[in-house]
Amino acid sequence: MKQFFLFALLSVCLTIQINAQETWSLEKCIKHAQEKSLVVKQTELAVETSEITLEQNKMSRYPTVNGSTNLSLNSGRTVDFATNNIATQTSLSNSLGINSSVALYQGGRIKNSIKQSEYDLKAAEKDVEQTAQDIALQIAQAYLQILLSEEQLAASKSQLKQTKDQLDQTNKLIRAGTLPANNRLDIEAQIARNEQTVIAAENAVSLGYLSLKQLMFLDMSKDIKVFAPDVEVDESTLAKVNIKGIYNQALSSQPNIQAGEMRLKSADMSQEIAKAGKRPIISLSAGVNTGYSSLAREISGFETQVISQPFTVDIGGNPTTGTLELENQIPNTRQQPYFSQINNNLGSNVSIGLSYPIWDNKATKLNTERAKLNKENIKIQNEQLKQRLMVDIQNAYTNALAAQKTYQAAEQSLVSQQASFDNTKRRYDLGSANAFELSTARNTLALAETELIRSKYDYIFRLKILDFYAGRPIKL
């Protein structure tokens, strides 16, 4: 009953551990690293900045509308803008206006600026793609390194088990009196070396996971397990590879090459924008304005005033006097209301302006030359990118070819070492070979197995680099 309870408890603990450990595929690792990468986030911010610049240049085609107002307190002898009267007093005035202007022609600046912004945006987007692809290649290398280390660990454990089995068999023969007791010493020494190899392999696995987690910006305490697919080595792959073909594919698929082409087109637009400095500018402006003044008055009514005017008339030599009464209409005024003034003083204006550069201190010429030199510099950079791309592809193909030959040689070596070990084992079982010879044969076989594992994953990674340049997704 006690044994059953311990077995059940062990099973539960093992299940909890398995559930806590996440299995990550290569695709999942790449996606997580790309999402968490600060370099990718920086390039994405550059895309957003380019989008803002593009939107700003597009909006420059449309009119601008500005509202303005001014409130003034004047004291002393002033001219009121609404009545044009000179008054010596304190007055309050308020002006209001709405003005709009639009460029009808700017020598192609707006059109070319929009095109330039579109090319810059595409280049920034390609930079994001290139950064993501570089991260994918780094993750693939770290991922394959873990698979390599885990296979080497499994091989080391298998070798340790075989040596321990050999020790058990030797002990039986010693107890039976068939072999001397000192035969176990070489085997025990070999077990110690195998255990050391296992520890080194375990450390390599741990370091591999640490490197992968760092590349993925993953918490070091998170327990993950990479998915180990059945990776088959197709030795005929390189026979189908054509360096020129991969180079042509890379020219159309590598984001950094495409980004360079977009920047070259952007430089073309910079040159056209610089040339526009010698072209006229035609603009249209319109506005509406009005104002208010506390000095403005309006007639509220009339008051009749009778004026007596004496007069003398000479009639027949006799002066005759009298009084003439005259009526005078005197207007009564009051301060004109604010909104009445705003309505009455409303005015508008429309104008078309033409500006033509006559002499700009060679600014346009120098800007054009600077833009031309920048374009030539980008051309050279693009050619350097293409030359470097060809060199990288040639190196990648040569390295893959060398890795393939190394892998094929390792396969043949393993076959030979396996046959040698089997022969030594048979001789040992028959008593014609000692434990040292068997240990030596096993060590040589172990080295052959390790080299085969290493060369296999090196060959796989070299093939993934060729896939990278051909624009194919990196996956296992």
Q: Under 8 Å CB-to-CB from 300, ≥6 apart: which residues? A: 332, 333, 334
- List strand residue ranges (DSSP E) for 118-195, in order: none
Q: Is residue 393 part of a domain?
A: yes
CA nearest neighbour of 166 among 179, 151, 153: 179
Tell me the C-alpha distance between 36 and 131, whole Å: 12
Domain assignment present for residue 433? The answer is yes
**Residue 84: its pLDDT value, please?**
61
CA angle (48 as vertex; 45, 53 as ends), nearest 5: 130
Q: Which token pair is 297?
A: 């008055």
DSSP 235: T
Q: Rounded to whole angstroms, how far apart are CA atoms 126 and 120?
A: 10
Task: Measure the CA angle with vertex 356, ends 351 and 359; round to 5°.
Answer: 145
**CA–CA separation, 200 and 421 (whole Å):** 24
pLDDT of res. 6: 45
Q: Residue 4: what pLDDT?
A: 43
Q: 3-state class of 345 per DSSP?
A: coil
Name the one residue in this structure whose structure tokens are 């912004």. 117
Query: Are 366 and 277 a contacting pair, CB within 8 Å?
Result: no
In a domain, 286, yes or no: no
Query: Are the C-beta atoms of residues 453 and 152 closer than 8 Å to each other?
Result: yes
Contact between 247 and 396 (Cβ < 8 Å): no
Q: How far out from the chain centre does Cα 435 lie? A: 62
Task: For the beta carbon of residue 430, count every other beta carbon within 10 angstroms.
Answer: 8
CATH number at 138 reads 1.20.1600.10
Angstrom distances, CA of residue 28 to CA of 22, 142, 314: 11, 13, 126
Q: What is the pLDDT, as a whole number, of residue 182?
A: 82
Residue 222 included in any domain? yes
Query: Is 312 a member of any domain?
Result: no
Note whether residue 476 is domain-resident.
no
Q: State the total domains in the chain.
A: 1
- Exposure class string for 113-147: b at 16+ Cβ within 10 A, else e: bbbbbbbbbbbbbbbbbbbbbbbbbbbbbbbbbbb
Predicted TM-score (pTM) of the model is 0.79
**pLDDT given at position 392:** 92
Report in angstroms the alpha-carbon separations of 73 from 68, 82, 90, 150. Answer: 17, 15, 7, 87
Token couple for 237:
């792959």
Q: What's the one-letter identity of residue 261? A: E
**What is the C-alpha end-to-end distance of the chain, expressed in Å?**
47
> Which residue bears the tokens 């707006």?
110
pLDDT at 295: 76
pLDDT score, position 395: 93
Kindly report the number of other CB atoms within 10 A of residue 400's CB atom. 22
> 436 is in which domain, residue-wise?
20-61+106-279+364-469
Residue 195 falls inside a structural domain: yes
The span from the CA of 177 to the CA of 158, in Å, is 29
Q: Which residues pair with 352 in a beta bridge?
A: 284
Residue 78 located in a structural domain: no
How high is the mean pLDDT in each 10-residue block of the chain (476 residues)? Answer: 45 48 90 94 95 95 94 75 63 91 92 96 95 93 92 90 87 81 84 92 94 92 88 74 89 93 95 92 95 80 75 72 73 82 92 92 92 95 94 92 91 92 86 81 88 90 89 82
